[in-house]
Amino acid sequence: YFLEILVEVQKQLGLLPEKTSRLRDGSASAGGTRNGARKVNDQKVRAEGWVCSSGLRVIFCERKNSHVFSIHACALGGVRLELGHPLPGTVRKDTDWGLSYLLGQAWTKGTSKHNTRQIDTLVEWLAAGLDGFSGSNTLGLQLPGLSRDWDTLSHLFTEVLWGPTVPEEELGHSKRVFEDEIRSIEDHTSQLCSKLFQETLYEHHPYGRI
């Protein structure tokens, strides 16, 4: 079921090969139909956005004086999608909610080319960070790193985004960590208060299950 969730995410991100080669303007470049650049508060920074034919929205912001980069790939997901639109015949919303969070934890734990130790070693050696994330209505992958290591890290990011293997042993470890986090909520006052507040405010809404 994790691979099915991943396929849905890849569809939303426009990562299917037949959809990423063509753009709305008919070109075959990696760009897209641009919405035009818009200025941010700092006049020296310009953010550009465009939309690919697949529906993928791309936002690019360059800071020429910065020596770091940050890339995020994000799609609709999280507990809202799990409870509102569960995968038919695969996921039961009454018992399986939380899968997005678990997938986010296990997403970077291996590919067909690299195991989790190799990925962790490379990321730490380059002083970068590669993590999956899941929120109330999002699911994605993020990578900050040094600009000088862009070639290496961008290839790794693409590899993990496209083809995570989610090894059984790593999935089991992530599940145990997830369960420990749930059991420890009552040991942390702030987390417990937040949980009770969400359950009270969103009594019949997926956000109340966070």
Each residue of 40-92: pLDDT tens digit?
A: 444 566 778 888 777 778 888 888 788 999 999 988 888 777 777 666 666 66
* Rounded percentage of the chain residues whose pLDDT exceeds 90: 25
Cross-strand pairs, 46: 39, 62
Give the Cα separation of 89 and 84 in Å (integer). Answer: 14
pLDDT tens column, 144-175: 999 999 999 999 999 999 889 988 888 888 88
Q: What is the pTM of this model?
A: 0.69
Q: How many CB atoms lie within 10 A of CB 87?
A: 17
Closest CA to 69 of 9, 148, 169: 148
Helix axes 2-13, 99-106, angle to 10 degrees: 80
* Average pLDDT score over the chain: 76
H/E run at residue 128: none
The two beta strands, 46-51 and 68-76, are unpaired
